[in-house]
Structure 1
């Protein structure tokens, strides 16, 4: 059998014998199986959790955001379900939340919280930085607005964490294209720099945008960018990055390039160093 399935159902209809189930399949959750030696994706885990609930639960949280197209949700992320069950197995989180009409939709046959409801839930949980990163990705994928989420929040005035909703939503920016870009943007804001503009276009001599800077301050021709490992590991990309860097510098842009392992204090000092001297922050 392909995919994720309920073992009891497969046995009941004669698709498998108990021996075949034990021999060729592995258990993901109670009574939920998939083929042995097959990598388990986030989608597999999501379907498994939903089947474990006997198809009664609503997918929520990060798993729901991934179903709406949000990127950077890890395959081993616990699956959140809105379902009143306090004995969830490992890898599943159940919540006895109230879902009102219009807050659930169907995707590929599974019940999932809508983008607005998913954003509402993400904004109320985790740390501010984690919530903003998740919301950046969800907003980028769905184009929901702050107004959409605030309107939904008005229907749940007593929900846990609702008071922190405005401060989290105010920091959301769909221009951040990875969790590390979100982290860098929030670091700069927390350090006292003006909120940077994201995805700043860099134009060709003919007036067409050919590059985009991660974030920065166009009035000061200063940008900050997060360079992932792919910038060094992919030789073709490395060459293109050299050409890009030379062109951007020729226009007068100054850039602070951040990589994994850079210390936060050092990043802030580097940005301060190239800030207009008379405008430096304390």
Structure 2
């Protein structure tokens, strides 16, 4: 894992529904290795703490983040990011015997330092793990950080537990960055097969959108027993039932660069012209 730190390599473990499970396990094992080697008091923070809390991440962290009360020497290991901002006792927690920042402090640290999409993925996921948004806002208000406060405030204001995957957060971020009205998440749709839910939507305009994760159509994508063909047929029946109920969701695939602009154009075309004319790209939010 690092100089003097090793891990046992297993074989073929079921990664469940997380395509980045192997990267997450590697990052967590790196945190464990750092914990065992550090002698001075320390608290794991930022995306490292988010990992330990079980939060989703947009990308695996390149370094382990830790808060320590002293300045690192010039010979400090490059695989550890050290922070000196004090962590009050009520913002401490422990997970699997390792000291971490509280869930609320973790989200605030991420929101202050990470790109807004990355931070929003953490915040969305943290809400599903019991994040107290009011407490997180109080921690941000009391923070001495000078940079990133507007971005962090935006992240806390737009966090939504209804995003059930990082890509669903990505889709919502794309819409918000483009200046679209805030979408609802997990929009209920009554159908002949029962109530279905679409990832995001604007019910007042009858507009729904879904992220289509094509990886789930591969055998084993959601576990060893997962059958891709069965999943494809299930999704086909679901989509047909939604269409029969009078809806035509915009289906979005994972894209980058110019593809993001095309996603925005497809969605924007479904809004009434008077609403569309109000769209303005938020200059604070970089392209995903």
TM-score (norm 1): 0.79
User: Using a 3 Å threshold, how does the CA distance of structure 1 residues 256 and 163 change in structure 2: closer, same or farther?
Assistant: closer
CA distances 1:7-44 after superposition (whole Å, capped 9, x unpaired): xxxxxxxxxxxxxxxxxxxxx22332334678863321
User: Using a 3 Å threshold, how does the CA distance of structure 1 residues 95 and 180 change in structure 2: closer, same or farther?
Assistant: same
Q: Could you tell me which residue of structure 2 aligns to residue 237 of structure 1? A: 231
- CA–CA distance in 1 between the matches of 2:132 and 2:31? 23
Q: Could you tell me which residue of structure 1 aligns to residue 223 of structure 2? A: none
Q: Could you tell me which residue of structure 1 aligns to residue 103 of structure 2? A: 115
* Counterpart check, 1:250 vs 2:206: no
TM-score (norm 2): 0.78
Alignment gaps of 5+ in structure 1:
1-27
Q: Could you tell me which residue of structure 1 aligns to residue 210 of structure 2? A: 225
* Counterpart check, 1:30 vs 2:15: no
CA contact (8 A) 1:69 1:142 kept: no
CA contact (8 A) 1:63 1:79 kept: yes
User: Using a 3 Å threshold, how does the CA distance of structure 1 residues 66 and 118 change in structure 2: closer, same or farther?
Assistant: same
Q: Could you tell me which residue of structure 2 aligns to residue 23 of structure 1? A: none
CA contact (8 A) 1:213 1:223 kept: yes
- CA–CA distance in 1 between the matches of 2:276 and 2:61? 43
CA RMSD of aligned residues (A): 2.5
Secondary structure, aligned partner of 1:254: coil
- CA–CA distance in 2 between the matches of 1:50 and 1:235? 44
What is the CA distance between 1:59 and its match in structure 2?
A: 1.0
- CA–CA distance in 1 between the matches of 2:274 and 2:110? 40
Matches within 5 A, 1:36-47: 41-47=26-32
User: Using a 3 Å threshold, how does the CA distance of structure 1 residues 275 and 159 change in structure 2: closer, same or farther?
Assistant: closer
Q: Could you tell me which residue of structure 2 aligns to residue 130 of structure 1? A: 118
Secondary structure, aligned partner of 1:46: helix
Alignment gaps of 5+ in structure 2:
12-21, 219-227, 280-288
Q: Could you tell me which residue of structure 2 aligns to residue 139 of structure 1? A: 127
CA contact (8 A) 1:231 1:241 kept: no
Which is greater in Rg? 1
Secondary structure, aligned partner of 1:32: coil
CA contact (8 A) 2:103 2:131 kept: no
CA distances 1:233-277 after superposition (whole Å, capped 9, x unpaired): 221111111001001111111211111236112112211333345
CA contact (8 A) 1:136 1:173 kept: yes
- CA–CA distance in 1 between the matches of 2:275 and 2:58? 39
- CA–CA distance in 2 between the matches of 1:217 and 1:35? 48
* Larger relative strand fraction: 1
User: Using a 3 Å threshold, how does the CA distance of structure 1 residues 122 and 192 change in structure 2: closer, same or farther?
Assistant: same
CA distances 1:203-250 after superposition (whole Å, capped 9, x unpaired): 3459x63x2110011122211111112243221111111001001111
What is the CA distance between 1:69 and its match in structure 2?
A: 2.1
- CA–CA distance in 1 between the matches of 2:169 and 2:139? 24
Matches within 5 A, 1:37-186: 41-54=26-39, 56-72=41-57, 77-83=62-68, 84=70, 85-86=72-73, 87-145=75-133, 147-158=134-145, 160-186=147-173
Q: Which moved more, 1:243-252 or 1:190-199?
A: 190-199
CA contact (8 A) 2:59 2:118 kept: no
What is the CA distance between 1:113 and its match in structure 2?
A: 0.5
Q: Could you tell me which residue of structure 2 aligns to residue 202 of structure 1? A: 189
What is the CA distance between 1:48 and its match in structure 2?
A: 0.7
CA contact (8 A) 1:66 1:73 kept: no
